[in-house]
Amino acid sequence: MSYFSPDVSSVLHSAKKLTISSEISSIFENTAVKKTLTIVRWISFFIYPYLLTILANCLSSNDINTISFLIENRTGAFYFGLFITYLFFIALSFLCLTPWLAGSILGICYTALSLADYIKFSILQEHIMPWDLLLSKSFGEFEPFLKTLQITPAMFFLLISPVVYSILLLPRKIKWNKKSIDIIGIAIGIFLCMGSILFLTNNTMRMSYTKWFDISVNDTSTQQSNYYKNGFVTAFALNIGYLNIETPAHYNQNTIQQLKNDYAPGVVAENWKKPDVIVILSESFWDITTLPNTTFSENPLANYNELSQNHPSGTMISSTFGGGTARPEFEVLTGMTTAPMPAGSFPYQQYMHNDTFSFARYFKNMGYDTIGLHTYDNTFYERNKAYPRMGFDEFRGENQLKTQLWWNSGPYLTDKTLIDEIQYELEQPHPEGAFIFGITMENHSLYKNKFKKDDLTIDVKNDNCSTEEINALKNFSKGLSDSDKALKQLYDYVMSREKETVVLWFGDHLPTLGNNFSPYTTTGAIHSSDTENWTEQEIEYMFSTPYIVFSNYDTEKNYIADKKAVSSYLLMPLLLDYINAPETVQSNVLLDLYQNCPVINSKYNLYKPNTNAEKTKTLTDAIWMITYDQLIGKNFINQ
């Protein structure tokens, strides 16, 4: 029984709480405790970058084993990333004068970037690049993909841990004796930040630190290899050094004018029929039946194989693997090369800021109507901005298509939708002709359980493949078969037309069917998941996609590259030559290059017998100079 009133009891309870709080406060005011806390905070200060480097690498790969792999096999690469983290952390600490705030900022940046890399690679098989930060992409574009991804509790904990760590364990403030020293500290922070950027971007310094840390610069030739071998932090830092492109040697107005004189267009051929021209980029269109020791209950490319026996066809050596569609797409549309550009960069977003030459503009200048079609969001890769700059009158994405949208159990519009849209467009009046460039989407990754089981009508067998690998192969075969049927639909329609029509159909790249180049390694298509160990034949295999050309009239000319391998940027000049189209400086240079070296890109070169090495170098330099001139330089070629 209480002898106090309720009010008195509450007062006593509050007083007791105050007493406890005072006791706790007195503990922390104790000099010894304060010194201990200070020591703990400063120890945490020096441990933090190490933990943050580990965290970022693990988040990016979604694999804790990444760290053991880096430390055991790529020690220099790991410690270079650690060095960069320390550099930026110390710089931010000087700038903010509050290590906990600096740690929070850096932690948010590292976790956001590494998570973004994980998401982007899961969706597109492309790693995040420094130049992605300069773009105004909407995160909402990834919404359809994100439904297939899950943020696990462990991943969520890793995401918030840097901020929690910073607030609880890092020093509150760097205290100087005088305010003027604060200004000096901020100046040091600015100097360190600027020095860090210079350190990463200067070519001379790059040569030094890659040697010191035993980092292979060749790893940056493919971003999958770069991020896998060097870890997220180091790979991202190395890519910062590729933000700038050096001016080609001897680039000036006189050199470009000499090219214009040497490759001046000739007279227009009398048998130029002004046909409608259709070019189709078929997503991941590739002959899966070439996988060794693998059998299929039916050929998913039956129509292509039949048509290619009677029409010009061959293989295109792509500039990318498993993703990055916009790179070979850009090369085909413009005849320009991406080989000297930073690995993983996309010209649409980084370099195409003004009107530029493309084969769409070439046809537009002859009075053609130029239309781009895509069965996905037309803002992806900022195509909605790039296509008008290339001379397209119109570029329609999935939300602007005018015919019925066809879906199956997969997540994307079917290829039939695109062919129906092309047929609709060709039925519209085009007095001078139509140039149509279409991009399919149905066979895009991800392939795991992409379609319903009832839709997987092609059985795949390989004794060495896991259940998961067979699942991916079956799902890819389903999409490939649909693409093949769409090709036949377009072929039958074109052959029924009276108006002269020519079609170029090509695959953009091989698909990413699993991690670390699985099942290409499992089936024996390549002997190693390390790209540096691939043989020349394996490199050619991993970057070769089929293409075909057909027309409904006699072009009165042979296709000079029939059944041959060619670079992607040679496809349109070869097509123009086949249909006797008017010449351009660009197409003449490229056709001359074909006669010497049909394939030149950053992955693989193929020279013709008795090739003149000096002339080949002159031509490849000319192609890069023309590309640089139109995208980055003074545009002398159009003056």
pLDDT value at 305 more than 60: yes
pLDDT band at residue 46 under the 50/70/90 scheme: confident
DSSP-derived 3-state class of residue 627: helix
Give pLDDT, residue 474: 97
**Mean pLDDT lowest among 7-21, 66-80, 489-503:** 7-21
**Mean pLDDT lowest among 10-14, 38-42, 367-371:** 10-14
Give pLDDT, residue 22: 52
Sign (positive or negative) of CA dihedral 168, 170, 175, 179? negative
pLDDT value at 533 more than 90: no
What does the DSSP assignment read for 131-188?
GGGGS---GGGGHHHHTT----HHHHHHHHHHHHHHHHHS-S----SSHHHHHHHHHH
Q: Return the closest-CA partner of residue 573 out of 557, 560, 554, 556.
A: 560
pLDDT band at residue 28 under the 50/70/90 scheme: very low
**Greater pLDDT, 288 or 404:** 288
Cβ atoms < 10 Å from Cβ of 207: 11
Q: Tell me the per-residue pLDDT of 92-107, one tens digit each, with 9 for 90 and over.
A: 888 887 778 888 888 8
pLDDT value at 29 more than 70: no
- Please, what is the average pLDDT of the chain? 85
User: CB–CB of 625/251 below 8 Å?
Assistant: yes
Give pLDDT, residue 327: 92
What is the mean pLDDT of the segment spanning 541-557? 96
pLDDT value at 390 more than 90: yes
Helices (H) and strands (E) in the chain, counts: 23, 12
> Residue with structure tokens 């397209």?
392
pLDDT value at 273 more than 90: yes
Specify the fold of 275-447+479-511+535-627: Alkaline Phosphatase, subunit A (3.40.720)
pLDDT band at residue 364 under the 50/70/90 scheme: very high
**Mean pLDDT lowest among 87-91, 590-594, 608-612:** 608-612
pLDDT value at 217 more than 80: no
Distance (Å, whole) CA 185 – CA 176: 9
Cβ atoms < 10 Å from Cβ of 3: 6
pLDDT value at 138 more than 50: no
What is the mean pLDDT of the segment spanning 199-210? 71
Give pLDDT, residue 303: 98
Task: Specify the pTM.
Answer: 0.81
pLDDT value at 240 more than 90: no
Buried b (16+ CB within 10 A) or exposed e, 342-370: bbbbbbbbbbbeeebbbbbbbbbeeebbb
Spans of all domains in the chain: 19-240, 275-447+479-511+535-627
Q: DSSP state, 568? A: G
pLDDT band at residue 1 under the 50/70/90 scheme: very low
pLDDT value at 150 more than 90: no
Give pLDDT, residue 202: 66
What is the mean pLDDT of the segment spanning 25-45? 68
What does the DSSP assignment read for 405-436?
----SSSS--HHHHHHHHHHHHTS--TT-EEE
Distance (Å, whole) CA 625 – CA 599: 18
Give pLDDT, residue 4: 44
What is the mean pLDDT of the segment spanning 70-79? 87
pLDDT value at 509 more than 50: yes
Q: Return the closest-CA partner of residue 103 out of 174, 163, 51.
A: 163
Query: 22 exposed, middle or buried (CB, 10 Å; 0-12, 13-18, 19+)?
Result: exposed
